[in-house]
Amino acid sequence: MNAQDLKAPIEYLKGVGPARADLLRTELNIHSFQDLLSLFPYRYIDRTQFYKISALQNTNAEVQIIGKITAVKMVPQKRGKRMVAVFEDETGQMELVWFQGHKWIRENIKTNTPYLAFGKLKWFGNKPSMPHPELDLLEDFEKKKAQRMQPVYPSTEKLQKRGLTNRKMNTMTFNLLKQCTKGFTETLPEEIREKHKLVSKTKAIFDVHFPASVQDLERARFRLKFEEFFYVQLQLIRRNLVAKHKIKGFPFPEVGDYFMDFYKNHLPFELTHAQKRVLKEIRKDLRSNAQMNRLLQGDVGSGKTIVGFLSMLIAIGNGYQACMMAPTEILAIQHFEGISELAEKVGLNVKLLTGSTKTKERRLLHEELASGELHILIGTHALIEDKVKFKNLGLAIIDEQHRFGVAQRAKLWKKNSLPPHVMVMTATPIPRTLAMSVYGDLDISVIDELPPGRKPIKTVHRYDANRLKVFKFLKDELTKGRQAYVVYPLIEESDNFDYKDLMDGYESIVRYFPKPDYQVSIVHGKMKPEDKAFEMQRFVEGKTQIMVATTVIEVGVNVPNASIMLIESAERFGLSQLHQLRGRVGRGAEQSYCVLLTGHKLSKDGKTRLETMTQTNDGFKIAEVDLKLRGPGDLMGTQQSGVLQLKIADLVQDGSILALARKEAHVLLKEDPKMLLPKNSMVNFTYQTNMKNKQLWNYIS
Ligand code: ADP
Ligand code: MG
């Protein structure tokens, strides 16, 4: 069989046929012979170990035992019958059990003949049994020269039910590989393979399915991971280079008068070094002819807003408009208020547009926007509705981008002849490995320094049983004039059960903190936007001391006097959410606290999350742990990312391989940007083939 034959549709493979082919396509995305070979095992069963019946441990482990079937009987049960075989070795007896397929077994099973039984153990008291074992005549097993490390393939219930069991997948793959006597086309340059001691493609493919040893398996996996990363990186790096050349943007030759005036006369505080550095990076982008695509990362409270605002001033100083989009109405209002205050100082016109903007105001706003009278528009995703037409949008800032879909971002971009410069601000720190892979085509700026004078937030974990002590502590802090948030989990906006928790909690707090000494606000997703804004405003102005809320306050809200964040059922929150919530406090000069309340029962992951929170305030460390716990798919909606649909490599575990592959991809492209040198022809061919099959996530554009 040669490379061309491997493209054959999967139904032509022996033992597959049209019905199973359909299943393989829909369940596992396997269309061709080649796809089957690219379905890599996710684990391996060690079949080098044999057990004796008397030595079995009371676990549900998968084991293999050599023995003989001495008797078979049918046992009636509630529904139908089960078939039970007595299986013996020289040390004892156990039962093999079948709930279906009796006829076939009865006709095929041989008694008093050595078998190898393999499967999961079940225990009834101290009696072991094995339901639906894999049975091989010992003779056959030895002839097959037993795969020592038996591959286990990803599967679904449907596949299992229709007979595409792991054993079947195993046989199919094994037989297919046997036909591939000519081996596989090599897809990595000799030079790179030698340098990093990578095994050949052929050996890697054979060994990843049926390795003879753990070492062989490791080498095979290393090579395949390297290859996978290498081609993803080639794509990302090339797109980056290409994008830089191709996408034109508005050049802003000067910083302009607005910027100069504000910077010299109205800056409310000295910028941190990190803020200045980032601003320089942005300035450089804006001065060039290319469109800026920059991700601005900075932990909560690091001061991204002012950087965004100063960038807006540059756009406006060059005769363009700017907008800022926020994920929630509350946040949009806050940005509007904050930025209006700053913009007023240099005489700029700022307006707010959200879902609740009245028709009349909207009409005026649209007019001013079209005429260019309006300099800055701030709002929610209402900004990207088709009716909203700018005269000349020069800079779009998106705050907390992980809440926006790719399509929404693309819409912003279509508002001009040329795309506006885009800056995405996020407090969700993205671990380096992930950033390298996902944002290979996006420039990243990091504000890695907090404004001076901040005291690190003290975080503690307390059990529900100590609630009264916690409330007492809260009372003491309120007496000192501080304010507090009390947050309840709300996983689903529609989940009434969670609302009941929230309302019960609110009532108990009102009871413990009674009027008129205390004022308690509540904000949640079921409230009307204007009611939410009203309550929020009361809290901002210090008219209420406690804000009971769901995670609607998660992002961006800035109330420096609030110094306590009490999180109820903290075990139900994800790490990045907890970190975001904690970031709501610690914004003023006072010592701030974050209290994580939980029940007594905690899962292992839950414990890890709580420990991480109490041990560190560093958003990057937290993101690393989060990535480990959740895998990259969940993080910031990166499911949309084709890049992350890696077949074998793992962004968390394989960061070092990624770095190697990325380096080699850089070296190759530096020497041969278009991959036209003869020695790179095979890389180019593989690259083109991959591009056809895999659509990379189109970031922003
Ligand atoms: P985030 O990065 O979380 O969006 P903000 O932009 O809301 O942070 O800034 C947090 C707080 O820090 C605000 O009150 C802001 O005015 C203040 N701030 C920002 N930069 C500085 C600075 N260089 N010095 C002092 N305070 C600053
Ligand atoms: Mg912010």
Work out the pLDDT band at 701, boundaries 50, 70, 90: very low
Does residue 556 have a pLDDT over 60? no
Question: For the whole prediction, is pTM greater than 0.75?
Answer: no
Work out the pLDDT band at 291, boundaries 50, 70, 90: confident
Residue 88 gets the label, from left (phi > 0), alpha (psi -120 to 50) or beta, of: beta
Does residue 698 have a pLDDT over 50? no
Work out the pLDDT band at 647, boundaries 50, 70, 90: confident
% the chain with pLDDT above 70:
87
397 lines ligand 1 (CB under 6 A): no
440 lines ligand 1 (CB under 6 A): no
3-state secondary structure of 310: helix
Does residue 1 have a pLDDT over 80? no
Residue type, 668: L
Ligand 2 is an ion; its neighbours by CB within 5 Å are 556
Ligand that lies nearest to the alpha carbon of residue 308, given by its number in the listed order: 1
Distance 401 CA to ligand 2 centre (A): 11
Ligand that lies nearest to the alpha carbon of residue 273, given by its number in the listed order: 1
Does residue 643 have a pLDDT over 60? no
Q: Whose alpha carbon is nearest atom 10 of ligand 1?
A: 301
Pairing of strands 520-523, 546-549: parallel
297 lines ligand 1 (CB under 6 A): no
- Rounded to whole angstroms, the Cα distance separating 197 from 553 reads 52
Classify residue 172 as exposed, middle or buried by CB count within 10 Å of its CB (0-12, 13-18, 19+): buried
The phi, psi pair for 429, rounded to 5°, reads -70, 135
User: DSSP string of 379-415?
Assistant: ESGGGGSTT---S-EEEEEEESGGGS-HHHHHHHHTT
CB 283 within 8 Å of CB 228? no
Does residue 400 have a pLDDT over 50? yes
Of 45-49, 204-208, 555-559, 696-700, the one with minimum mean pLDDT is 696-700
Distance 579 CA to ligand 1 centre (A): 17
Mutate to test the pocket of ligand 1, among 272, 295, 300, 306 (most ligand atoms within 8 A of CB): 306
Of 267-281, 553-567, 593-607, the one with minimum mean pLDDT is 553-567
Residue type, 338: G
CB 58 within 8 Å of CB 35? no
Distance 410 CA to ligand 2 centre (A): 22
CA–CA distances in Å: residue 306 to residues 64, 612, 616: 65, 30, 26
- Rounded to whole angstroms, the Cα distance separating 63 from 123 reads 13
pLDDT digits (tens, 9 = 90+) for 112-156: 999 999 998 999 888 999 999 989 898 887 776 556 788 888 887
Distance 311 CA to ligand 1 centre (A): 15
Per CATH, domain 257-287+303-426 is 3.40.50.300: yes
Q: What pLDDT does residue 154 have?
A: 82
- How many CA within 13 A on the CB side of residue 79? 2
- Rounded to whole angstroms, the Cα distance separating 210 from 176 reads 12
Closest CA to 386 of 408, 359, 364, 404: 408
Distance 293 CA to ligand 2 centre (A): 19
Classify domain 458-616 at the CATH topology level.
Rossmann fold (3.40.50)
Cβ of 304: how many Cβ atoms within 10 Å?
Answer: 25
Are both 257-287+303-426 and 458-616 of the same fold? yes
Mutate to test the pocket of ligand 1, among 267, 278, 300, 302 (most ligand atoms within 8 A of CB): 302
What token pair was written down for 33?
A: 């012979």
Q: What pLDDT does residue 328 have?
A: 77
Q: Whose alpha carbon is nearest atom 26 of ligand 1?
A: 451
- CATH number assigned to the domain with residue range 48-152, chosen from the 4 options 3.40.50.1820, 1.25.40.10, 3.30.870.10, 2.40.50.140: 2.40.50.140
The domain limits of the chain are: 1-42+156-181, 48-152, 257-287+303-426, 458-616
Q: Which helix (H) or strand (E) holds 657?
A: helix 655-671
Cβ of 381: how many Cβ atoms within 10 Å?
Answer: 19
Does residue 693 have a pLDDT over 90? no
3-state secondary structure of 55: helix
Q: What pLDDT does residue 525 have?
A: 77
- Rounded to whole angstroms, the Cα distance separating 254 from 314 reads 7
Q: Whose alpha carbon is nearest atom 18 of ligand 1?
A: 303
64 lines ligand 1 (CB under 6 A): no
Does residue 695 have a pLDDT over 50? no
| 310 Cβ contact partners less than 8 Å away, ≥ 6 residues apart | 259, 262, 263, 279
Query: Average pLDDT, stretch 169-191?
Result: 91
Q: Whose alpha carbon is nearest atom 13 of ligand 1?
A: 303
Residue predicted with more confidence, 40 or 433: 40
